[in-house]
Amino acid sequence: LEPQGNGQLYMTSDVKEISGKSYDYIVVGGGTAGCPLAAILSKRFSVLLVERGSSPYGNPLVMDKKYYGLSLLQTDEYTSVAQSFTSEDGVSNLRGRVLGGSSAINGGFYSRASEDFIRKAGWDRKLVRDAYKWVESKVVFQSEITPWQAVTKLNLLEAGILPDNGFSLEHIKGTKVSGSVFDEYGRRHTSADLLQAGNPKRITVLLNATVKSIIFNKNANRNESRAGGIRFIQSNGSLNQTYEAYLKQSKNSSSRGDVILAAGALGSPQVLLLSGIGPQQHLQNFNIPLVADLKEVGQGMQDNPSIGILLDTKSENRLPDPPQVVGIADDFKIIVQGLILPISLNETRIVISAKVAFPASRGKLELNNTDPRQNPAVNFNYLSNRKDLDECVKLSQLLDQVSSSKAIALFLGMEHKNKSMSTEDEARKLCKSNVRTFYHYHGGCAVGSVVDKDHRVYGVKGLRVVDGSTFSESPGTNPMATLLMLGRYQAIKILKERNCPV
């Protein structure tokens, strides 16, 4: 639990110590968006940040690039930093369970959203730009590219993903090198590092505590339910031993804080459902008292279908190599990256992967049970829409081209052969049987259906959601940059609403 930086950030795993206390804001989930959000709110207010996992500091599997990917191989039910889940459509997937969230287990690739995404979101462009820059000044690096990433770049260019844009953080057509949260010494900077950039004295981080539900206070006169706090359990404790923490009370509703869910695309819809906000019929099945009949909670879940091609015929003991290069092809519709992934402590495989950037297929998330530590049931309906299958056919043909480049043959010490392109039929079969994830799933609490444009949950007061569950599409090539940005952006908007200078 060693605090980082100037040592003023208070982190505890003692649920009893926090039980019964009150704060101006309670942020549920210390992940990619949750940490910058808590940091900025703490500049003016007291904040309780509740994270179900432990601290990333001192864990080499999280912090050290040479162990990149190993944390994804060591998953268990309640304590590992990565929690695995399999969607109802049979695709294995992962999510972070540690302070820093998925930014602590991911590939660290950092690339901003397109102008178009920002315009459609209706965000203030200058505030967005400033928020990206703030994140970049603290946790984003441009390291020298590794030999495999240099080869990936050549492959992408040889396959016609042009122009060569050199280094850029922008979402632009062609091939580019982008930023990374791994610094030049191979040390990962998770979103947790951003907590120091707020007022650490006003943040309390409660680790290893899982939020079970939101406490609502009913105002019968106004027929209004307002979030008043949270119920939580010790992550490895009993489900029946619950504790409570509260929002500070104030007579004037405009000077009250909020409970803000930042528990990720699986966690936030799950906590809403467990708290009685969701489709009435579904909640009845679990005897959860209804607070608001919000049918869209858990709807519109989406993941980008992806195909990966293994390039080496057998495993080697090369160092794992997270992505630094990306190909943005087919008018922004296909995203290609190359990685070296561990398959055990000392074996790795080389992979080229691509995702369909704008799938049309959508699915849903529902509860399996009422234990907040368990994964909810999620179905992404990969490739169920014909348009996605057509895109995937194009994508796998492009992957054929990329993976048969001269640069790869040279890197792997093989003879270069011009691989024949798969037919549409073969490509369709490959897509259907080999569909995987880029881990960029989103939705479940989309803006406009579950939350308004200020991320307030419809039908109740004092509750917001700020994380990937609010997106209806994945921003840019990879979402982390925009989720880090969103945490700061929404916190600044909240401070402005309350006339607090930042």
Contact call for residues 139 and 191 (beta carbons, < 8 A): yes
Candidates 6-14, 91-99, 306-314, 343-351: pick the segment binding ligand FAD (CB under 6 A).
91-99
Residue 109 in contact with ligand FAD, rule: CB under 6 A: yes
Contact 411, 147 (CB under 8 A): yes
Nearest residue to 457 via CA among 253, 284, 276, 283: 276
Of 171, 189, 440, 442, the active-site residue reads 440
Task: List the one residue out of 316, 302, 415 whose CA is nearest residue 362.
Answer: 302
Sheet of strand 363-366, all strands in order from the earlier edge strand to the far edge: 299-301, 363-366, 377-379
Per the CB < 8 A criterion, the answer to whether 74 and 200 are in contact is no
**Which of 70/427 has CB closer to ligand FAD?**
70
Q: Is 269 one of the binding residues for ligand FAD (CB under 6 A)?
A: no
Query: Which residue, 359 or 427, is less far from ligand FAD as judged by CB?
Result: 359
Q: Where are the strands (E) in 390-448, listed by range?
A: 436-437
Nearer to ligand FAD, 161 or 169 (CB): 169
Among 36, 174, 264, 320, binds ligand FAD (CB under 6 A): 264
For residues 483 and 494, which CB has a smaller minimum distance to ligand FAD in the complex?
Answer: 483
Q: Judge whether 465 is annotated as a binding position.
A: no
Helix (H) or strand (E) holding 483: helix 480-497
CA 324 from centre of chain: 18
Stretch of residues binding ligand FAD (CB under 6 A), selected from 264-272, 279-287, 291-299, 352-360: 264-272
Residue 105 interacting with ligand FAD (CB under 6 A): yes
Q: Which stretch binds ligand FAD (CB under 6 A): 105-113, 284-292, 305-313, 492-500?
A: 105-113
Examine the residue annotation and report whether 171 is marked as an active-site residue of this protein.
no
Of positions 97, 176, 226, 455, contacts ligand FAD by CB under 6 A? 97
372 near ligand FAD, rule: CB under 6 A: yes
Q: Which of 44, 65, 95, 364 binds ligand FAD (CB under 6 A)?
A: 95
Distance separating alpha carbons of residues 345 and 360, to the nearest angstrom: 38
Cβ atoms of 111 and 475 closer than 8 Å: no
The 451-490 site mask, x for binding ligand FAD (CB under 6 A), equals ----------------xx---------xxxx-x-------
Kindly state the tokens that stand for 5.
């930086």
Q: How far apart are CA 185 and CA 413, in angstroms?
A: 29
The structure tokens 């609010």 sit at: 470
Give 87 or 404: the residue with its C-beta nearer to ligand FAD. 87
Burial class (CB in 10 A: 0-12, 13-18, 19+), 489: buried
Euclidean distance between CA atoms 160 and 327, whole angstroms: 10
Q: What residues are designated binding site for FAD?
A: 98, 211, 468
Per CB under 6 A, residues contacting ligand FAD are 28-34, 50-53, 72, 94-97, 101-103, 105-109, 210-211, 262-265, 267, 271, 372, 439-440, 467-468, 478-481, 483
Q: What residues are designated binding site?
A: 98, 211, 468
Catalytic sites, residue numbers: 440
